[in-house]
Amino acid sequence: MGKDWEHLLNFRCTCCGQCCREPIVLLTDEDVRRIMRHTGQPPEKIATFYPPDEIEWDLSNRGWIKLEEGDRIMGLIRSEETGCQYLQEDDRCGIYEHRPVTCRRYPFDVEYDSNDELTLLSISDSVECPYELDGRNTPAQIKALVDWEDEEEQPYFDLVDKWNAKSTPDGPSGFFAHLQLA
């Protein structure tokens, strides 16, 4: 396979803030914990639970939580008008050092071969992204973020599976307690 994607390693975010206004950012318990520590907010002010018709996340994927109100996915609270609550007026992230791992990896979508070598990189089309190509991102930096995301996602998905195996569904506060966030 050719490497006609390699020029995208020169991606540079122009900080337009668009990707902080539109998409829903999925969270793990570790993301919520980091933001709680930094902001002092309780989990219910950080995370909410989205139904299948509000998010493009296939029902066959892991992460769907069985709540009393139905299947839900945990993501950052956002408003239709202004997007993420942490997006500042200058279009910068107000919790930059503590932001979710998904925000750090965005907008790269990547594929690896069996030797963990980067074989394909693309820029997410979830929003119109006015990026420049005068930056520098190394495959090692991108791999480190993907590994970090994976390391926190898998234990979180295991916790969700454990929750879903319960015989009696519960609400969001019970789920936060299950994650030891409340």
Binding site for ligand SF4 (CB under 6 A): 13-20, 25, 84, 86-87, 93, 95, 99-100, 103, 107, 127, 129-131
Residue 29 to residue 2: CA distance in whole angstroms: 38
Output 68 or 96, the one with its CB closest to ligand SF4: 96
Residue 101 to residue 94: CA distance in whole angstroms: 15
Q: How far is the CB of 22 from ligand SF4 (least distance, A)?
A: 9
Q: How far is the CB of 106 from ligand SF4 (least distance, A)?
A: 6
Output 100 or 172, the one with its CB closest to ligand SF4: 100
Contacts of 116 (CB under 8 A, 6+ apart): 143
Strand partners, 50: 73
Amino acid, res. 133:
L
Q: How far is the CB of 120 from ligand SF4 (least distance, A)?
A: 19
Q: How far is the CB of 114 from ligand SF4 (least distance, A)?
A: 30
Output 25 or 74, the one with its CB closest to ligand SF4: 25
Amino acid, res. 137:
N
Residue 174 to residue 117: CA distance in whole angstroms: 41
Output 127 or 182, the one with its CB closest to ligand SF4: 127
Amino acid, res. 38:
H
CA 115-8-125 angle, 5° bins: 100
